Every structure is written in structure tokens, then in C-alpha cells.
Structure 1
């Protein structure tokens, strides 16, 4: 039995996702990059390298992480620091700028080391909430049509857009229509285009065949485009891991409350930020099964509540609770708020054995502070 709390990445499920993505690459003639902002378990990079074309980074540290493997590393940031841009250029296949100000400031330091791209804003909102909508009013992400400068493209070889969040192929169709309407006239001079992330390709409802069709038709319209990239993060680790926690105490304050050795605030922050209700293995909604509990975190934050769940049997101290789909946007965003121990990162091998890739200790918490 593994020690809790622990993120467990299931190797077999991860590889199934990668096989779907690899088939897409082969059928559509595109390249898939893992977005490290969503999935960054470098202990599984050997497996990812077998199937994917590279990684996409949001800055220097992620670029260095991606550079652990000899694949393509694409880097985009809303703005770059002067003392980091040279190293980023050295280790990146492509550097994407968010504005013409940044392009003009740094292009001469990048052009001989990496390909240069621009992120544009297609102006099509489809994300489920404004927090995750790069095309929302007053967005800082991407150059709008009104601010685009055709006379500044001398060193630019590609355009990048990212407007989706956990969405299906139909959302890409709408976004691509807006992208071509606003920026299609500039594509004749480009060598590559990046469709960004947010594509839920490995989700059961996703129409991969339609995505293949979309990419092929796009490439036929622009035969000069050598490479089409997609950079999903969630689709790589979707449903390929879980967070296992233990019940520490059960109290009653108008309803039964189980206090766990994990935390929404610290260990699965999107539960509160998005917000959403994670699935719990073998549990139902409140009142659906015989015994209902509110699952609460171990921090002092009053709102550190994961949700209300029901179970066939009453919970007791020492029971294990498994939160599904926790390989993405968890350990990359978690914190040691309240000095709560960070969950270990564990790999469940295809033979059923467990490999503890990383355990965290007091020193990890201490050394982040001063």
C-alpha cells in the first residue's frame, strides 16, 4: 500500500493517450507537443518521447525541463526577461513572441538560434469560463488583428494561436475560421502554424477523425505550411492518474465531514479556482448512495472543501479516498500552503507495481522560503 497523499500516474493509461496522439500525427501529418504547464512528470518523458514530437514551455524553467530530451522545445511567454532570452533561444526550437514590442526588442538575439513566431488572438471566445478565455475582452494574450503589423514579419516564420480549454473538435473549427479570417492573408509567407492547446483529443467524445480532416484541409489551403503543431497538456495525461488520500478524522456539524490528508487549496487548486467537482472512485453524488460526507482538506482555510460525496459504506478513519483524473494541473500547480506535505509522485507500472518517483520532505518546504 502506498503512503498518502500521493499522485499516481498510471503508465498503461498514459500510453493509451500517447498512442491516440501519435496516430493523429501520422494520419494528419501534424506534430504534437506536450504542454508542460499541464503535464510535466519528467520521470515519464522516456515514454512520451516514443510518441510525441516535443514539448512546449511557458518560460525558461519549463524550456530547460523540456530540453531534458532531444526533441523540439517550443517556448512562448507573454513577455520575456532580458537576462533569460539568450538561454531560452539557445535551448528552444521556436520562440514565440506575444507582441511586436517584444519581437523588436529581442528578434536579433533569437533569429540565428531559433525560429521566431508570433502569438495572435483569433478573437473567438469559446472557453467555458472567462478565467480560461484568452480571447476575452482586454486579454493580454496574443496580437489582435487591429494591432498586427505586416511590415514587421521579416524574421517571423510562423503564427501561433491558443484559444481553447478542455474542448472538442467543433470548437477548433470555429476558432480556426476566425484565425483565417483575421490572419489568413499572412499565412502565405509562413512555414509553420501552431494551433495551441486545449484540445481534449483523448476524451471519449472527441471526434479525432474530424480533427484529422480539419488539419488536412488546412494544409491543402496553405501548401507552403510545412508543419502544423498542436500542444495539448491535458490530452496527454487525461484520466491517466489519480490522487490517493487517507481519512484522518470524521466530525459532525449538521452533516458528516471527513477530513483528509490532502487539500483542494494546496494539492488540487483548480477544484476551487475553476471551480469543479472531481470524481471520486466508487462514490456518488450527495444523497445518491446511503452515506453522504463532505470531503474536507487538512489546511486551515475555511473553504478548503473538495465536495459532497456519497458511499455505499460508512467511512472510517484510515479509509482511502481516490480522486480521479489528477495527473494534470495538480502537481504542476500545487503548493505547501500551511506547511502541508506535498503528495508524492508515484508511477503505477503496466505490471501493476508502484515506483515512487519522488517523495517530498520538510527540507523541500523550508528551502522554498528564507
Structure 2
């Protein structure tokens, strides 16, 4: 593979495959799907996304400005908006969602004539297997709990938003939706829209798309006043549509073979350490499954910068390329320049097989973030 490493590569053909699945849900369920920029924000592919999706959802001003690059719906939610940013957020957004009644009362007069106003509520249903990614965990700061809900403050509120899932199947949404309606169903008769949030792994193998469509249609039948139902997946948009290419820089033996790569779990794929998880490597097996086993280590000075253990049919050599699968989502938006390591380039693989390097990073990018 003739790519300068490290590099993220997004394949248009695989990305469009995901988008077609999402578009099917939109058409058959009568809902709108937004790309969550916190999970997938490669704006070089926005032309393709715009053909299929209704818009984008942002987590604050800068993401909203990124979403504004296309003439689609921009929905913005933040745990707390800043005084000097709320006006610009309202100017950009189709919908602004507040996380508390404090924020609603503080800013609703500045938003109500520019954008629709929503409230994020906490459905109280924990289903995420990782507490770090559970918005319904005890003492969560995300979403208004039923105990704190103020029915007398809804004059300017046209919709409710809940988000409780993380990389989950349709069965998790069934439980969450049941909890949401149990707590907040009495308020839905006065709403114009509802947002089911993200975390729906709609494009993953084994996801029951028909069941999702059924749930949305039945929800709309129960609440005929609801004009729009939104979903805002990030991962489902870019799931398995991209990978990270790295190069073996050195191989050492400190009790086992260790291959040091020109990438990093800490800097370039931080969820490997945060969740944690072991990303799949193309052509590799589990440790001991194949003849030659290696531990992949990053090039930072962090002792724990270890990606995982992998086995191969043939021994690795310095200069070999290694491909980490499913790296178009979260990894790209969460990476850092820790230790001054070069950020991976961003490459789009066109449907005709050609490669388009949309961005390379240089020393100046690292320097200018620091002072």
C-alpha cells in the first residue's frame, strides 16, 4: 500500500453502503437521521453524506459551525452553553437543546425567535456496558431527571431529546424508549418533535433494522402530534468504512516480540485505552492463534501505550504496513499530538480506487496548538 504513514483512510464505497441503510430507515420509518459530528466529522465526505442524511448534530459552537458547511439541518446540544456563544449557536442552528432548566431560563429569550428549543431528558435506563459511556449512570450530568423536570417551564419548548445508548442494538432502544415514555410520555402531547439520540449501531451486522423501523412508526402512531422523529448516530455513519495504516519502525524482544509502530494508542486511537478494547488488524489473529505473535506498541513515551497482541502467519519485518480496522469513527475526532507525534494524514479512497490525500499534518500544526 503506497500511503505515507500514519494515515486514516476512508473508503467512499463502504461509507455509502452505511448511508444507504440509514436512508432506508428514514424513508420507511418516516424519520430524520443526523450525523453526530462528535463521532464522525470528516467534512471532506460531507458531499456524500448530504445526499442521504437530513443534517448534522453538534455538541457546541465549533461543531455547529462545521455542520454549517452544508445547507442541511443543524441541531446543537451542549451540557452548558457559554454566554458569549449562545447567540451565534442560535443563528446557526435549526434546533438548540438545553441540558437544564437553568440554561433554558437563562437563554430561551435569545434563542426562541431563531431556532426551535428542546430539552435533553434522562430516561433513567442504563444499558451501556461501559460506565464511562453511560449517560444514565448515577449522578450523571447529562439530561434532566424526572425529579428535576418542570412542566410549568415548557412554553417555548417544542421537543424532547434523550440519549442513552453506546454502540448498541435495537433491543437496547426498546428498553430505553419504554423508560422514556414512562417518565415523560405525559409531556409528549405538547411536543412537535422528539430526538432518540445516538448510539444506535444501525449499520452493524446483526442489527434488526426492521425492528427499528417498527418502533419509530409505532411511536409516531402513539403521538400523532409529533411531526419529526430524529436519530443522531455517529458511529453508524462511518462504521467499518475506514482504517488506520501504520508502519513497523522496530522490533524488540523483552520476553516477547514487540513491534513499535509509527502510531499510538494514546495519541491516535485513545478509545483503545479508554474503553478499553483491542482493534482488529487486517490479516492478524489472536495471540497464539497464528505462528508469530507480537505486541504492538506506540511510539510515545507513555509506558502503557500498547495497542494489543496479535499473531501472524509470517514474521513481521521493519517497514511492514499494519492496518487497524474501523478507525473512521471517534478515533479521528479524539486524536491528539501528544509527544509531538505526527498526526495521521486523512485519505479518501474513491469508488474508482484512486486515493485523495485531503490533509497532511506538519510541525506548524503541532506548534500552533501550544502557544
Q: TM-score range by the shorter chain?
A: over 0.9
Q: Partner of 2:42 in structure 1?
A: 41
2:334 alignment partner, SS class: coil
What are the equivalent positions in structure 2 for 1:175-190 lying under 5 Å apart?
175-190=176-191
1:276 alignment partner, SS class: coil
Q: Deviations over 1:146-177 (max 9, x none)?
A: 11000000000000000000000000000000
- After TM superposition, give the deviation of residue 31 of structure 1 in Å: 0.2
2:333 alignment partner, SS class: coil
- After TM superposition, give the deviation of residue 330 of structure 1 in Å: 1.0
Q: Partner of 2:18 in structure 1?
A: 17
Q: Partner of 1:129 in structure 2?
A: 130
- After TM superposition, give the deviation of residue 128 of structure 1 in Å: 1.1
- After TM superposition, give the deviation of residue 276 of structure 1 in Å: 0.3
State how far apart, in whole Å, the 2-side matches of 1:330 and 1:5 are: 13
Q: Partner of 1:52 in structure 2?
A: 53
Structure 1 unaligned runs (5+)? none
Please say if 1:225 is aligned against 2:226: yes
Q: Partner of 1:199 in structure 2?
A: 200
State how far apart, in whole Å, the 1-side matches of 2:142 and 2:206 are: 29
1:271 alignment partner, SS class: helix
Q: Partner of 1:334 in structure 2?
A: 335
Structure 2 unaligned runs (5+)? none
TM-score, scaled to structure 1: 1.00
Alignment root-mean-square deviation, CA: 0.3
Q: Partner of 1:268 in structure 2?
A: 269
State how far apart, in whole Å, the 2-side matches of 1:162 and 1:129 are: 15
What are the equivalent positions in structure 2 for 1:1-370 lying under 5 Å apart?
1-370=2-371
TM-score, scaled to structure 2: 1.00
- After TM superposition, give the deviation of residue 4 of structure 1 in Å: 0.3
State how far apart, in whole Å, the 1-side matches of 2:334 and 2:297 are: 19
State how far apart, in whole Å, the 2-side matches of 1:133 and 1:359 are: 35
1:331 alignment partner, SS class: helix
State how far apart, in whole Å, the 2-side matches of 1:50 and 1:90 are: 24
List 4+ stretches of structure 1 deviating above 3 A. none
- After TM superposition, give the deviation of residue 283 of structure 1 in Å: 0.1
State how far apart, in whole Å, the 1-side matches of 2:334 and 2:347 are: 17
1:242 alignment partner, SS class: strand
State how far apart, in whole Å, the 1-side matches of 2:331 and 2:256 are: 28
1:211 alignment partner, SS class: helix
Q: Deviations over 1:314-337 (max 9, x none)?
A: 000000000000000111000000
1:246 alignment partner, SS class: strand
2:152 alignment partner, SS class: helix
Q: Deviations over 1:187-221 (max 9, x none)?
A: 00000000000000000110000000000000000
